[in-house]
Each structure stands twice: as structure tokens, then as C-alpha cells.
Chains A and B, each alone.
Chain A
């Protein structure tokens, strides 16, 4: 049973464009929704995270949009740059569960 579904599997965006990655979850007990960025040969690094008491969080070019009723959240990368080319993972957690459940990842490629 997949607790979080991530799409698309891969994404190609032109430099300067907006990259959008989506995740959907089932368990309404989840209350923490981080996004991780992973470069080849490296471990995932926390990019941005949101809790369900807000609908949007922005940090620089990265924004999380959260729709509690639809049980969906998405990552938007504005003004996408070649250096953003990486694999992105959404994850879910609930306080006290002490482990992250990850989506299957999106390989993002930014082309000039």
C-alpha cells in the first residue's frame, strides 16, 4: 500500500520556467510534509517543509502548496535553473511516528 503517490516520474523544464511536482496522500493523520532534493551520489537534503495549518510556504524560488481537503501538496520551483536538475522526493510524517514515508521521486531536468 503506497501511502504517498508522487508525479510525474520525470520532468523536463526549460530554464526560467516553473517546475511543478505533485504528491497525494491518504492518511489524514499526517501532519508534516517535507520535500527533499537529491543529487547523484549524495544523500537527500531537506529543501522545504510545511505543516497543515498553512496552505502555502515560500522560501526563495521554492514554494509548497498544500490542499488539506484534497490531501495533496505540491512543490513549485520558480525561474528554474540548470543547477536545480536533481531528483526530488516528497515525504509525509505524523508527530510521534518518527519515520518519513517517501514518494517514489521525480527526476527533474532543466534545459537551457
Chain B
């Protein structure tokens, strides 16, 4: 597959549990982004990686949210002690280098908190 791959595609969990969402970017793309899309809303920026570094974490809503990227490739978004307001579709995108290069999106992980 040549596109951005996200897993799982759907995740249902109980309030208070921790969840991990995974993103495999397009091979060779050095920039990686996480966005959140709530029902009927636009996309909200969460965090940006260039290589393994995250120069912009400004969109993370609280300290329950964290993300890492290893080997300049796979990224994991972790949400601790999930709350019902965390229910949303979490989208990952990647691009070459960043700086207005087209961002290519995966199909997202639909997270439902019961």
C-alpha cells in the first residue's frame, strides 16, 4: 500500500481506559501530522512531527494526550484516562519535508468512549 495507514480503524473503549492509535506514513515522508475530527466538525490540528521531533505540540488538548514517532516513520498517539469528549475520528497525515507540501491523509481511527 502506498498510502497512509492507520490502525485500528475503529476503537471502542470504556471511559478511563488508555488507548493507543497508530499511524504508518507514506514511505519517505519526513513530516507527520495528527488531526482530530469531531462529528460534523472540521479538522483540528493536534501535533506535527519532522523526523522524530515534534516542534509543534500546540494542538494537544490536555496532558492526557501524547504522541511519539520512532525511526522517522511510525507514530503513536496515546490518550490516557479517556473521557467521553475524546470521542472523535483521529486522522494522520504525512508529507514530504513539510512547508506547504501536500498532506496525504489516512482514513482515520474512529474512537468511541462509552
Q: A: which residues have CB within 8 A of B?
A: 6, 31-32, 34, 36, 41-46, 49, 89, 93, 95-96, 98-105
Q: Interface size for chain B: under 10, 10 to 19, 20 to 34, or 35 or more residues?
A: 20 to 34
* Cβ-defined contact, B103 with A46, below 8 A: yes
* Cβ-defined contact, A43 with B105, below 8 A: yes
* Cβ-defined contact, B48 with A34, below 8 A: no
* Cβ-defined contact, A44 with B56, below 8 A: no
Q: B: which residues have CB within 8 A of A?
A: 4, 31, 33, 35, 40-45, 48, 50, 55-56, 59, 91, 93, 98-100, 102-108
Q: How far is the CA of A31 from the CA of B102 in the complex (A)?
A: 14
* Cβ-defined contact, B48 with A41, below 8 A: no
Shortest CB-to-CB span from A48 to chain B, Å, is 10
Q: Which applies to chain A's interface (DSSP): helix, strand, loop or mixed? A: loop
* Cβ-defined contact, B103 with A100, below 8 A: yes
Q: How far is the CA of A45 from the CA of B103 in the complex (A)?
A: 8
Q: Find chain A residues with CB under 8 A from B107 CB.
A: 41-43
